[in-house]
Structure 1
Amino acid sequence: MNAKTLKTWLSVHSGIGIAAGLLLFIAFYAGALTLFHHEIEEWSAAAEPPAGPPPTLADAQRLLDGVLAQAPKMAADIRLQLPHDGHGLRAYGQDPATKTWRSFELGADGQPREQQDRGELGEFIHRLHYTVGIPGAWGTYTMGVVSLLYGLALVSGLVIYLPVLARDLFALRWGRNLKRLWQDAHNAVGLLSLPFHIVFAWSGAVLCIGTLLLAPFQFLVFEGKLLALIGPQAGFSRPVQASGTPAPPLKVEQLVAAATRAAPGLEVERLHLRHHGDAAAQVEADGAVHERHLSRAVRVELSGTTGALLHEVQRPASYSSGTALLRGLQNLHYGDFGGLALRWVYFVLALAGAFLFYSGNLLWVESRRKHQQAAQPRRASVMARLTLGVALGCIAGISALFVGTRVLGPDRFADAVQPVYFAVLALCVLWALVRPLPKAAFELCVAAAALTGCIALADAAMLGPRLLRGDLLLWTVDLTALLGAALLLLLARATRRRARNGAPHSVWALGA
């Protein structure tokens, strides 16, 4: 490859990386934690009194009847989440009378109790993963576009690195040239985890903006009929028209029994009821089967009055190619197919991905340094400050949420989850913008390390007896937090050492 072509590819790679790197850092760091969404929810509730006996299908029926008595118009479209994998019993849907989504749980008195739309820790981190904090659907669409750019950055990086693949793959050249060391680490992490990054980029784009990408075909080629054709394969509900004739609906227990007869081995996790109480009522039973396939998801569509099977059962062994592709991408993206060990592998890969974007931004800053003059380009300084503020602010903000949840409890802290995260993030960005850059880098590393280490301290202070009894979940969270704090302190130490002894005209030097 000639020098001009290589320079062009390098410009594409670095330009895209800078444009998307900060958002991708947040997505990957939050995504690493999202892999343990249920464990985080269980950790959050560790200080709460033990729950009563697990809810039954009779409780689910009682909840459904009570909700429809309070809001009868929700019978047109309501979902009933059955207890499974850490999820509790819940009924939810859009109330046609108010055009708002409402969610209900069963209270201690056996009556439905409406849940408030709160920002619980696990759910907020999950939402942060696919929206990076941008409100509404715009956050999801933004991350879909960023995923496309991310894929292009992977291709351009591979083109650049292929000529030196055999020679430099495992080269980590230690010495005074820190830029070369960071470059070696960046290249090695990127190339060794390339298959996973390809999956993340592809699946991220499909999951976030897949429907938007189909829009031209929907309206220009298939005359508005495309979604009706592929909707059931993609997991969308088929349209249902009410007959206007009342009919007694089947009980929850009967619907679950009908679904398991149609799909032996199915563990029903959710019932989606439409036009409940109408002669044309339909029910979708979603759940999972224990089969040796990438996806375990099953969908059974039943009549809500007779329990008769309306359409072919969607299960892994009989998926269409489109369904297999979409379900497979979902499971590949979240690592849902290999158990706990695979999730830890994904956790490490996600953190390595965050490092990839952080180091890429720092390499961009360093490559624009003027080696023989004190005055440095303003754009390099601004990007260095934003990288520090956003990356370390994200880490500090999420750690602060863990600490606040443990100290105040999940119920009292729920309304503060989002404000606290954005306040910490904004404070870190502001600190990086106003302080001398090398001092800000050291101070923000220490602050992020302190907040991360405080997760273990908060557990020890609030739940000391459970820690002493060897609670595995608490020990896992606390040891992970302490390891993260230690790594951040090592980064702070290296940052201060470079500020004192590194190149005098670097943006990281104390004299810069």
Structure 2
Amino acid sequence: MKVSTQKSFRAVHTWTGLVAGLFLFIAFYAGSVSVFVHELMSWQQQGELRQATSLDRAQPLIDQFLAQTPEAAHGFSLVLPGHHGPELSLYWYNEQSGAQQKIQWQGDELSHAPARQDFVSLIYDLHFTAGLPRLFGTYLFGIVCILYGLALVSGVVIYAPVFFKDLFALRFGQSLKRVWQDAHNLIGVLSLPFHILFAWSGAVLTIGFVLLAPFQFLVYDGKLLEILEPEFEVVAHVEPTGVKVPLLPVTELLAKAQATLPELEIESLYYHDAGDQNGNVTFYGQIHSQALTQSGVVVLNASTAEVLGQLTPEQFRPGTTFLRGLQSLHYGNFAEYPVKWLYFLLGLAGAFLFYSGNLMWIEARRKAGDVLQPRSIRFLTALTNGSCIGAMAGVSGLFLAGTLLPEALHAKVYFALFGLALLWAFIRPAVQARRELLLLTALLTLLIPLAGYLHSGEQLLSALLQGHWIRFGVDATALGMAAAFWRLSRI
């Protein structure tokens, strides 16, 4: 390869990595945690006195909600007790306010609160928004994924000639930059197939429709979405008649859906045009099988329980199979715990990859410059330490808030810790700031088992002896992560 060509690829790799690296660090770190999203919900709820809401209260919940908010009849979701918590929850997107609402029973009255403000949902959202406003953050991450792909391709082109020569070389006796570079290259090469998958699937899942725009307007004369629409529908859309009819009770509809597809483990219902003669309800759930995609769907008329359609993984159309399969591969929603732990480790390794990439560039520029360092180098150093370590401290703080504080305060805890870390990184010398922030993160992570004990009264050893594997797994992992943060602070 010509020297000029190699320099061009090196420049692409460096700058795409620097621009996208900080966002990707947060995405990978939060993503590694959110692999266990259902387990974290169970961990948070252990020790609480709340009982699972009876399904008999589902229809009164819907009736009272629609009586108060008739405009919501166009579309709303009902989440059943189970993986998503012990209580019935109704979700509705308020177009006037532009926010999603969560409605639950509070005694005999309905409580309205912003949706997705609990700590588990916040960690999940960090994976594809980095804490930015949801719509803006999602589209921004789609662009970041494209830059991520460019960094991967250019990195392979640059280092392909020495992949096998220096693959397992970890030269601890040499400079700090050499140690970071060896670790960066090792992790990058060994996890390359997964990173290609994450970059590609991340772009498709965030800005897939934007990527289709050239084909929509230049190839298919504006008709591509019409062609694709049947690929992702279980039943064709039918306009409401305007004829009002009563809804069948939720329990009756559930029984019909379960009889229609017995293997479906129903998790949620989506009502469309509720109360209209053509209104329907879609039942979403899981079908445990060996297939990559395990989701199933049943659609009934909401007033007559007539079966309008059903869909299992074996019946998926090519487009649905592709999209659902891509989602399963991206989130690790298959093959149970071996894959979940693999994705957890890959997420942490990916976060290290982006952090170490920035540190290598900073170290190289520092050695090339004078003792005082240019302002740009100091700025990037503080930004890297503050945002990366601040995100880790914020996630640990979310675990503490999730067990000890009301949901409304969870986001405030994360952003307070993230902002504090960022400020600290800018006002303190770089090396001291990194060590102090890592020690703070270690302390916050170490407190997670204690917070769990205060919440449930169950110690780590007791959880192990009594077979409470989720509590034991979360607390043991927190202790291991705290030890790792402490060890990193000593380097």
- Over residues 86-127 of structure 1, what are the superposed CA-to-partner deviations in whole Å (9 max), with x where a residue is unaligned? 444222224578776433223444x54434446211011111
* SS, match of residue 469 in structure 1: helix
* SS, match of residue 292 in structure 2: coil
Match of 1:455 in 2: 448
Q: CA deviation at 1:393?
A: 0.9
Match of 2:301 in 1: 303
Match of 2:312 in 1: 315
Match of 1:439 in 2: 432
Gaps of 5+ in 1: 495-512
User: Which moves more between the two structures, 61-70 or 333-342?
Assistant: 61-70
Match of 2:336 in 1: 339
Give, in whole Å, the separation in 2 of the partners of 1:162 and 1:97.
53
**TM-score relative to the length of structure 2:** 0.91
Q: Is the 8 A contact 1:74 1:96 kept in 2?
A: no
Do the aligned partners of residues 308 and 462 (structure 1) sit closer, same or farther apart at CA in structure 2, a change above 3 Å counting? Answer: closer
Q: CA deviation at 1:464?
A: 4.6
Could you tell me which of 378, 382, 391 is aligned with 2:379? Answer: 382
Could you tell me which of 192, 195, 217 is aligned with 1:194? Answer: 192
Letter aligned with residue 103 of structure 1: K
Alignment of 1:6-21 (within 5 A): 6-21=6-21
Give, in whole Å, the separation in 2 of the partners of 1:372 and 1:130.
36
Q: Is the 8 A contact 1:24 1:354 kept in 2?
A: yes
Alignment of 1:357-506 (within 5 A): 357-370=354-367, 373-406=370-403, 409-411=404-406, 414-461=407-454, 463-467=456-460, 469-470=462-463, 471-494=468-491
Do the aligned partners of residues 226 and 309 (structure 1) sit closer, same or farther apart at CA in structure 2, a change above 3 Å counting? Answer: farther
* SS, match of residue 451 in structure 1: helix
Q: CA deviation at 1:427?
A: 1.6
Match of 2:180 in 1: 182
Q: Is the 8 A contact 1:71 1:95 kept in 2?
A: no
Do the aligned partners of residues 30 and 46 (structure 1) sit closer, same or farther apart at CA in structure 2, a change above 3 Å counting? Answer: same
Letter aligned with residue 390 of structure 1: S
Give, in whole Å, the separation in 1 of the partners of 2:133 and 2:78.
26
Give, in whole Å, the separation in 2 of the partners of 1:236 and 1:221.
27
1:210 aligns with 2:208: yes
- Over residues 125-159 of structure 1, what are the superposed CA-to-partner deviations in whole Å (9 max), with x where a residue is unaligned? 11111100111300000011101111111111111
Give, in whole Å, the separation in 2 of the partners of 1:439 and 1:466.
34
Alignment of 1:72-221 (within 5 A): 72-87=70-85, 88-94=87-93, 101-109=100-108, 112-117=110-115, 119-221=117-219
Alignment of 1:204-353 (within 5 A): 204-234=202-232, 238-311=236-309, 313-353=310-350
- Over residues 377-414 of structure 1, what are the superposed CA-to-partner deviations in whole Å (9 max), with x where a residue is unaligned? 332222122111111111112212222333xx342xx2
Give, in whole Å, the separation in 2 of the partners of 1:447 and 1:68.
47
* SS, match of residue 73 in structure 1: helix
Letter aligned with residue 355 of structure 2: Y
Q: Is the 8 A contact 2:100 2:115 kept in 1?
A: no
Q: CA deviation at 1:235?
A: 5.8
* SS, match of residue 279 in structure 1: coil
Give, in whole Å, the separation in 2 of the partners of 1:225 and 1:410.
50
User: Which moves more between the two structures, 251-260 or 198-207?
Assistant: 251-260
Q: CA deviation at 1:465?
A: 4.3
Q: CA deviation at 1:328?
A: 0.5
- Over residues 254-275 of structure 1, what are the superposed CA-to-partner deviations in whole Å (9 max), with x where a residue is unaligned? 3333333443422222222222
- Over residues 430-470 of structure 1, what are the superposed CA-to-partner deviations in whole Å (9 max), with x where a residue is unaligned? 21112122222222222222222122333345545444532
Give, in whole Å, the separation in 2 of the partners of 1:128 and 1:100.
18
Q: CA deviation at 1:486?
A: 1.4
Q: CA deviation at 1:473?
A: 3.0
Q: CA deviation at 1:191?
A: 0.9
Do the aligned partners of residues 32 and 145 (structure 1) sit closer, same or farther apart at CA in structure 2, a change above 3 Å counting? Answer: same
Match of 1:62 in 2: 60
Gaps of 5+ in 2: none
- Over residues 352-394 of structure 1, what are the superposed CA-to-partner deviations in whole Å (9 max), with x where a residue is unaligned? 0000000000111122233585343332222122111111111
Q: Percent identity?
A: 43
1:40 aligns with 2:40: yes
Match of 1:27 in 2: 27
**TM-score relative to the length of structure 1:** 0.88
Question: What do you get for the CA RMSD once the two structures are aligned?
Answer: 2.4
Letter aligned with residue 253 of structure 2: L
Letter aligned with residue 203 of structure 2: A
* SS, match of residue 300 in structure 2: strand
